[in-house]
Structure 1
């Protein structure tokens, strides 16, 4: 059984300053392992639901967290973490929604040679280094607003701000050229925005890569339990659709990031966290990851540093975040036997994708 829970969820609001990270954790455990873990940590004696946010603020809670995070069963073979840095995701979504739509209509695959990755990272790095912070913030906010509430006004505001940023005296030429790619998407904006407002919800990409990673490791199509929270409730039907696609199992995509379709999972159910110990464990790890990643300068900074040093939080490879030069160069060399966009367009239901 795989147990999933999230932390830092703000839906399509990627500009939430107080919650810059979204994390998704999954725990893979058998019933006998759960029984052993409960006994070892004194779960029955604890007598209440495990919640990181209510535990890390007091000595008793931190003591219980130390038992859990250092238990030998809760290692990388049983726990898989993933996260997304929301500000970077704004630029990744600009490329995927707007620029990719334009190039797709012009017969160009933006994902070949990782052009999408190069452009997303370039936009992000030039934006965060731009001296006109207010204008960059306006640009980011107007994109999110346009996607969440498409209208003549919100669309005009976004492209007007894009043009202001292009022509700002502090905008370097390379950044100007990248922003010009966005300006050219205006003729395709109706098509680009003809999606659910949850298109920029980060649950689906992190859930998908997590499922794919578990499948690579185990070869098993695990049953899954989710917490009864908004991101899973909203996306459950779509995830079930991907699981039930009427097509032979096929690996699609580029290099190491290939995905298998239909989605390799078994039964998916939404449960109440206070009734399912595995969900509570997933909550602890997802919340602790957000806690470790989010900058802070309060009295809990010392405990934050302690969490950061735990091996499970040291290197989280499943992420949507700025890429290193080495990764980008590696991805640029990758080719796809089966392009994912072509595959989904051929076999997918356009009303659901």
Structure 2
């Protein structure tokens, strides 16, 4: 393991709590390992070589033309091996937040049971499909959820907590909505006094989560990290979790669904919030972040989009937020079990039964039953 690193961060596609923004489908948070001298030299070289008039590297502007994309590509090649990126499909991220704040309050006493079964991914992926393909009803639910998390105003939750049935609603979305309606009390108790207040104003923003995840990955390679981030309202509101990592030399991991992920790292000092105009490493990170938002947009098919897509596996960290439709493939045993679990949770909610009592045994039993008698037989 190497001793220490200066790491520079910036984002592309930031819309704060507005994850349904139609012009910005993806959020990318990028990092580069460098130092002031190297970063300044590379930025000045790129500005001079590609005749960048603003005197500052702005990835969002550069990706709009071929010369700018060529400039970004040179940065990526120069920084090869020293880049890590978190990138998220915002609609899927919103679906994940929906599970976290609508389902988890009622399941939190044994939430790992559901996470290890990928139940959260089953629900989130269903919601994502509904949001992207079903139209009005799903969109209304998500808009109400977004408004709640931004404002903390529970009075506006017309669609989410309405008991009215819509004839166009899909059976699985109806189950999810039924769960929300019948567990309203625990949801409200969990969010009251948090949503829309202080750091809670940024609860749907992806900046803090992305920064933490990237730092944890760099912590596997370096003993000590110094982080420089472009000024950010979400980071400015809440650095408590990062401050806890200052001088933290422990190495801890969490295991979810068979994957071990680092949850600690050692910061030399608190996060440095800087102005990108004077922080050359942040300008490099800005260019990288813009490149991967550009690459993830399927409408971009030029040589640079194709090239950057080819290195996604090398630079994009585990924990980036994209839908995996295997989690709703009903031919899979795990998916069939999660569908039955959703129905059981709704049934228990209707009957005012404990949602968690005996649930491990129920899930194990249903897995055994469905192994012997699957809903749909998987094709060989």
Same-fold call, TM > 0.5?
Answer: yes
Is 1:92 the counterpart of 2:96 in the alignment? yes
Count of matched residue positions in the alignment of Structure 1 and Structure 2? 315
Distance in 2, Cα, partners of 1:321 & 1:290: 13
* Structure 2: gaps of 5 or more residues: 1-5, 195-199, 336-380
Q: Paired residue for 2:31?
A: 26
Q: Cα gap change, 1:184/1:43 in structure 2, threshold over 3 Å: closer, same or farther?
A: farther
Q: Paired residue for 1:4?
A: 9
Q: Is the 8 A contact 2:252 2:263 kept in 1?
A: yes
Give the deviation of 1:264 after TM superposition.
3.3
Distance in 1, Cα, partners of 2:36 & 2:210: 25
Q: Which aligned pairs between 1:83-162 and structure 2 lie closer than 5 A?
A: 83-104=87-108, 109-130=113-134, 133-160=135-162
Secondary structure, aligned partner of 1:220:
strand
Normalising to structure 1: TM-score of the pair?
0.76
Q: Is the 8 A contact 2:291 2:308 kept in 1?
A: no
Deviations 1:204-254 (A, max 9, x none): 2211211121122x142210001123233233x234344259895532342
Give the deviation of 1:330 after TM superposition.
12
Normalising to structure 2: TM-score of the pair?
0.71
Distance in 1, Cα, partners of 2:31 & 2:328: 25
Q: Cα gap change, 1:169/1:309 in structure 2, threshold over 3 Å: closer, same or farther?
A: same
Q: Paired residue for 2:174?
A: 176
Distance in 2, Cα, partners of 1:317 & 1:199: 22
Q: Paired residue for 1:292?
A: 295
Q: Cα gap change, 1:283/1:107 in structure 2, threshold over 3 Å: closer, same or farther?
A: closer
Deviations 1:128-164 (A, max 9, x none): 343xx1222111111101111122421345312xx44
Secondary structure, aligned partner of 2:118:
helix
Q: Cα gap change, 1:40/1:99 in structure 2, threshold over 3 Å: closer, same or farther?
A: same
Distance in 2, Cα, partners of 1:106 & 1:239: 23
Q: Paired residue for 1:232?
A: 235
* Structure 1: gaps of 5 or more residues: 333-353
Give the deviation of 1:187 after TM superposition.
1.1
Q: Is the 8 A contact 2:255 2:261 kept in 1?
A: yes
Q: Paired residue for 1:336?
A: none
Return the index of the structure with the highest Cα Rg: 2
| RMSD of Structure 2 on Structure 1 (CA) | 3.3
Q: Cα gap change, 1:126/1:35 in structure 2, threshold over 3 Å: closer, same or farther?
A: closer
Q: Is the 8 A contact 2:13 2:26 kept in 1?
A: yes
Give the deviation of 1:202 after TM superposition.
0.7
Q: Is the 8 A contact 1:82 1:206 kept in 2?
A: yes
Q: Cα gap change, 1:247/1:274 in structure 2, threshold over 3 Å: closer, same or farther?
A: closer
Q: Cα gap change, 1:211/1:178 in structure 2, threshold over 3 Å: closer, same or farther?
A: same
Distance in 2, Cα, partners of 1:107 & 1:67: 45
- Which of 226, 248, 258 is residue 223 of structure 1 equivalent to? 226
Is 1:54 the counterpart of 2:61 in the alignment? yes
Q: Cα gap change, 1:45/1:202 in structure 2, threshold over 3 Å: closer, same or farther?
A: closer
Q: Which aligned pairs between 1:314-333 and structure 2 lie closer than 5 A?
A: 314-315=312-313, 316-318=316-318, 319-325=320-326
Give the deviation of 1:168 after TM superposition.
2.6
Secondary structure, aligned partner of 2:263:
strand
Deviations 1:166-212 (A, max 9, x none): x3333333332233222232011223323212111111221121112
Secondary structure, aligned partner of 1:125:
helix
Give the deviation of 1:63 after TM superposition.
4.4
Distance in 2, Cα, partners of 1:146 & 1:222: 36
